[in-house]
Structure 1
């Protein structure tokens, strides 16, 4: 019996996102996060108010790639299919360990993206469940403060890592993670993150260590959810 030829491995590339990528990133971000129970609880009314989900997700991505907030880097991985480059995975990084030094030296400051989102009406969006969203934001906020205290603000923070469902189990998220690890080593900055249960195995396999588990405590009938504080300590 003849063996069917294997499908050729698609070409892939990693690059920093540009404004032209906003809609592709928004689509990929929502598609990737739909598998995350915590995200589904936060945006429990997303099917009832899809216009709010699309509007504010797009605004968030737009802010990340606009260049107005230099603390943030959005890196994407694309694959070539039928001579067309398609977004397969995305990552958003907080590199304030570098930029804070620059701004302090120049005596500059700027408003964080959260203030812009609030000005655009994000607190009135109807797709979220406010109680659970507030519990999640508190848990993440407390974790970020702990990272800053532990590493004195010199940490490199992975804010989001996701793969579009059509491109999963091909190692694309791991490639983006490897990009971050290489930068962490280059700059001698600990790489930190809050991992979901879905992402934890990938991080452990990549050399991260656990610093503790943080429950998301919200009133109501929810399955217990938590995230894991993790760090990659650069070794040169």
Structure 2
């Protein structure tokens, strides 16, 4: 019985495949970066009171993605800055289970998580399960506005389906710790993801916050529509992101 041979994925360059040992650090990077997203304000209004729950939530999400054959998770490393927690508005608890290295040693500063399209022949590729997955407790989610969190997830799913993006691969996360911004790390990760879309001739979508939307547009993504939740008594400002899609040329 023959098997189809896929073209190789894009060269990783400075990126590498995430491992089980990365989970604790990755959660810190995600928390520090997502603090600047309007969606963070909408979904996690109690972060300041329950920062441990925020951190655990992202660690759990990324542990699941690293374990799953449906996801590719890549990381970017750079020299550790001991004062990095002072350069994010997120609260990173001091005793959070991750041991920081000495200044200048390599640490993860960026994370890319891509959910592959349904029936992708790449499922299970670019995985590295060497190491030990942390034993994480159940997350109480006390930082969340549960109603906002659940309704946003349902809304995004329905909008993707309405605009026929449900067969795309999905950029589920792309973040860089604020202490390491302006080094091109986000661009490098997004270019890799876009190039995978090109190689596999598979459309790719992302729900982009206003801060990251221009980057995606520069890389060839097009706006499909805006995804908007009106304000309410809990948060009169509401929240809005852009559904963007990259369609590789035939």
Per the normalisation by structure 2, the TM-score is: 0.73
Distance 1:102 1:225, change over 3 A: closer
Measured against aligned partners, the alpha-carbon deviations of 1:128-172 in whole angstroms (never above 9, x if no partner) come to 01222123212222133235xx2572x111011111101112211
In structure 1, distance between residues paired with 2:39 and 2:157:
15
Which residue does the alignment assign to 1:190? 203
In structure 1, distance between residues paired with 2:105 and 2:23:
17
Distance 1:36 1:152, change over 3 A: closer
RMSD: 2.5
What are the ranges of 5 or more consecutive residues in structure 1 without an aligned counterpart? Answer: 1-11, 104-116
In structure 1, distance between residues paired with 2:182 and 2:22:
23
Q: Comparing both structures, which one devotes a greater share of its residues to helix? A: 1
> Which structure is higher in RCO with an 8 Å CA cutoff and minimum separation 6?
2
1:211 touches 1:228 (CA, 8 Å); kept in 2? Answer: yes
In structure 1, distance between residues paired with 2:186 and 2:49:
30
Which residue does the alignment assign to 2:3? none
In structure 2, distance between residues paired with 1:211 and 1:25:
30
2:37 counterpart of 1:36: yes
Measured against aligned partners, the alpha-carbon deviations of 1:87-129 in whole angstroms (never above 9, x if no partner) come to 12111110133448979xxxxxxxxxxxxx9xx755x521101
1:1-236 to 2 correspondences below 5 Å: 13-66=14-67, 69-80=68-79, 84-99=105-120, 122=139, 124-146=140-162, 150=164, 153=167, 155-217=168-230, 219-220=232-233, 221-235=235-249
Per the normalisation by structure 1, the TM-score is: 0.77
Aligned pairs, number: 204
What are the ranges of 5 or more consecutive residues in structure 2 without an aligned counterpart? Answer: 1-12, 81-102, 125-135
1:79 touches 1:85 (CA, 8 Å); kept in 2? Answer: yes
